[in-house]
Structure 1
Amino acid sequence: MKTYKCARRTVLLGGLAAFLSGCAGGSKFRSYNGPAVTRVRLYKGQRLLVLDGASSVLRTYPVGLGFAPEGHKQFEGDGRTPEGSYLVDRRNPESSFHLSIGISYPNEADIAFAEVQEKSPGGDIFIHGGPRRGIDPTNVQDWTAGCIALTDRQIEDVYAMVRDGTPIDIYA
Structure 2
Amino acid sequence: MKKCVTTLGDYFFYGFAVLSVLAIMASVATPARGLLLDEFSRLLDHKGKVRSLAEFDKKLEYAGISRADFVPEIRIVKRSREMRVFSNSKLVATYPIGLGRATIGTKQNATDQKTPEGMYYVCDKDENNRYHLFLQINYPSGIDAERALVQDIIKNSEYETLVGAWQNKITPPANTGLGGPLGIHGFGAESSWTTDGSISMHNVHVEELFWNVEKGTPVAILP
Decide: shared fold, TM above 0.5. Answer: yes
| TM norm structure 1 | 0.81
Structure 2 residue 79 is the aligned partner of structure 1 residue 45? yes
Equivalent of 2:40 in 11, 15, 22? 22
| TM norm structure 2 | 0.63
1:22 Cα deviation after fit: 3.4
Q: Indicate if the aligned counterparts of 1:37 and 1:161 stay in contact, CA closer than 8 A.
A: no
Equivalent of 1:128 in 181, 185, 207? 185
Q: Indicate if the aligned counterparts of 1:64 and 1:142 stay in contact, CA closer than 8 A.
A: yes
Letter in 2 for 1:126: G
After superposition, give the CA deviation of every residue in 1:17-63 in whole Å (9 maximum; x if it has no partner): 7x956324332051435542421000000000000012511100000
Q: Distance in 1 between matches of 2:47 and 2:18?
A: 27
Equivalent of 2:111 in 69, 77, 81? 77
Letter in 1 for 2:180: G
1:115 Cα deviation after fit: 3.0
Question: Percent identity over the alignment?
Answer: 31
Q: Residue in 2 aligned with 1:59?
A: 93
Q: How many matched pairs?
A: 157
Q: Distance in 2 between matches of 1:126 and 1:12?
A: 37
Equivalent of 1:147 in 198, 204, 207? 198
Could you list the runs of 5+ residues in structure 2 that have no partner in the other structure?
1-15, 25-35, 61-66, 154-176
Q: Indicate if the aligned counterparts of 2:118 and 2:141 stay in contact, CA closer than 8 A.
A: no
Structure with the bigger percentage of helix:
2
